[in-house]
Structure 1
Amino acid sequence: MRNTNTSVKIDGIDKKILRYLMDDARTPILEIARNIGISGAAIHQRLRKLEKSGLLSGSKFIINPKVLGYTTMAYIGIFLDKAMSNPKAVKELEKIPEVLECHYTTGNWSILIKVLCKDNEHLMHVLNKRIQQIEGVSRTETFISLNQQLDRQIQI
């Protein structure tokens, strides 16, 4: 994501288009056009403009990890021995497929990661054999998510 100080201006029609697509990205453009009362070509033009502005960064299918047997979600705070270890640690974390997110943070930890594992035993293996073996990692603090209660995007 680009870090800019300028925000994108969107009007009411843009907001309506975005709400339809955020609800279901596979909604046909012509269906959205009929519901909003403008042409399909106008919707395409607006979407191209929003993509070009950087507001839209594509669409994706969401995989339900539980169907594949992944039931343990955890957040792990990583303490590094020194700040200079960060780039190398992140490079090593990228190699671990169970790591879904990695954040450089303020506070006690240097890095906060989100991991998805099949079960607690799998999580323990990832922690002990992969994450804690990374050079520069002095210790970790793990929080297991019992239930994700909210999952949403910013409101438009």
Structure 2
Amino acid sequence: MARHNLDSLDRKILRLIAADARVPFLEVARSCNVSGAAIHQRIQKLTALGVLKGSEFIINPEKIGYETCAYVGLFLKDPSSFDDVVEKLRQIPEVTECHYTTGGYDMFIKIYAKNNHDMLNIIHDKLQPLGLSRSETIVSFNAVIDRQLPMPGNDEEDDNEVDGED
């Protein structure tokens, strides 16, 4: 994975839009003391570089009936079937993340269910048939921290460097 060197304007833009993805570009431009066109160009550049992966509305799972969140460590009967299992996991809408990890698990997933009974059904009816030797489930009661990573660099330094840039 390539690491991109970001200048002070890039970092300031990223901090502003990470705090509020719906902030208008003109408001970002005013905060950065540059033109709206400059912000638009920078956003396009950051997207093309893969620094920005896009923007999205985040649906609160609880508000649409998914009251149980769990992390499940999967142990495959046949680890060589890994790619096939990943493709099958993509077909299960309750699976929202799948990670390659170190440690004892072959893979680690995040799933949502309507309740504990639904969670049991998902594990038994949808996950077990994928060729698991076993799984370990950790139910999350509440995400107490859920945030973007901070941008490296000094805010005060960035403010001084950006002034007058166009």
Task: Output the TM-score relative to the length of structure 2.
Answer: 0.87
Partner secondary structure for residue 129 of structure 2: coil
Amino acid at match of 1:119: N
Deviations 1:51-90 (A, max 9, x none): 1211111110111111111110001111111221211111
Q: Determine the structure 2 residue equivalent to 1:137.
A: 132
Q: Determine the structure 2 residue equivalent to 1:43.
A: 39
Task: Work out the percentage of aligned pairs sharing the same amino acid.
Answer: 46
Instruction: Give the unaligned 5+ runs of structure 2.
Output: 152-166
1:126 and 2:122 are equivalent in the alignment: yes
Instruction: Give the unaligned 5+ runs of structure 1.
Output: none
Q: Following superposition of structure 1 onto structure 2, how do residues 87-102 of structure 1 map, counting pairs within 5 Å?
A: 87-102=83-98
The whole-number CA distance in structure 2 between the counterparts of 1:89 and 1:49 is: 35
The size of the alignment, in residue pairs, is 151
Q: Determine the structure 1 residue equivalent to 2:6.
A: 10
The whole-number CA distance in structure 2 between the counterparts of 1:88 and 1:7 is: 30
**Please, what is the CA RMSD of the aligned residues?**
1.1
Q: Determine the structure 2 residue equivalent to 1:150.
A: 145
Task: Using the TM superposition, name which of 44-53 and 58-67 deviates more.
Answer: 44-53
The whole-number CA distance in structure 1 between the counterparts of 2:147 and 2:36 is: 27
Task: Output the TM-score relative to the length of structure 1.
Answer: 0.92
The whole-number CA distance in structure 1 between the counterparts of 2:85 and 2:3 is: 33
The whole-number CA distance in structure 2 between the counterparts of 1:13 and 1:70 is: 40
The whole-number CA distance in structure 2 between the counterparts of 1:149 and 1:92 is: 31
1:61 and 2:57 are equivalent in the alignment: yes
Bigger RCO of structures 1 and 2 (CA < 8 A, at least 6 apart) = 2
The whole-number CA distance in structure 2 between the counterparts of 1:26 and 1:49 is: 18
Amino acid at match of 1:55: V
The whole-number CA distance in structure 1 between the counterparts of 2:23 and 2:97 is: 28
The whole-number CA distance in structure 1 between the counterparts of 2:137 and 2:126 is: 14
The whole-number CA distance in structure 1 between the counterparts of 2:100 and 2:43 is: 32
Amino acid at match of 1:141: E
Q: What's the offset of the Cα at 1:143?
A: 0.6
**4+ residue segments displaced more than 3 Å:** none
